[in-house]
Amino acid sequence: MGLDNYWVKNGKVFLLKFDPLLRVRGGMFSDPAHGSFRGEDYALLIKALSGLSLRSVLRTGTLRKISAALHRTSYSELPKYLRSDISEVEYEDLKRMFSKYVEVPGIRLEPWY
């Protein structure tokens, strides 16, 4: 089954609209347009860049650290073992997703196994 992650605010799944649509791998609600993404596919990348895990509930402060870590590193600076599983477009959209969600007061990112 693996790890999916979903955005939560006030105890409910929360989603933002993105234009253009996000091109990250969808999670338990099929695609990122429904408030979830395939955390298993990004867990190693997030851990390598930020030292943080997608396997626990993450609140705004921690999410800001992840967003900052993603923005500090360009796609071309990623080690090859991390680039092999993610396209540049996907990486840029992952950054865009985190940076927009961290601006939502009270947002959390929750894991689903």
**pTM to 2 decimals?**
0.92
Instruction: Please give the Cα distance from 76 to 10 (Å, whole number).
Output: 37
Per-residue pLDDT tens over the stretch 55-111: 999 999 999 999 999 999 999 999 999 999 899 999 999 999 999 999 999 999 999
Element (DSSP H or E) covering residue 92: helix 88-101
Per-residue pLDDT tens over the stretch 28-56: 655 555 578 999 999 999 999 999 999 99
Judge residue 2's burial from the number of C-beta atoms within 10 Å of its C-beta, 0-12 exposed, 13-18 middle, 19 or more buried. Answer: exposed
Q: Which domain holds residue 107?
A: 4-112
- Alpha carbon 87 to its chain centroid, in Å, reads 14
Domains: count for the chain: 1
Q: Which among 31, 13, 15 has a CA at the least distance from the CA of 23?
A: 31
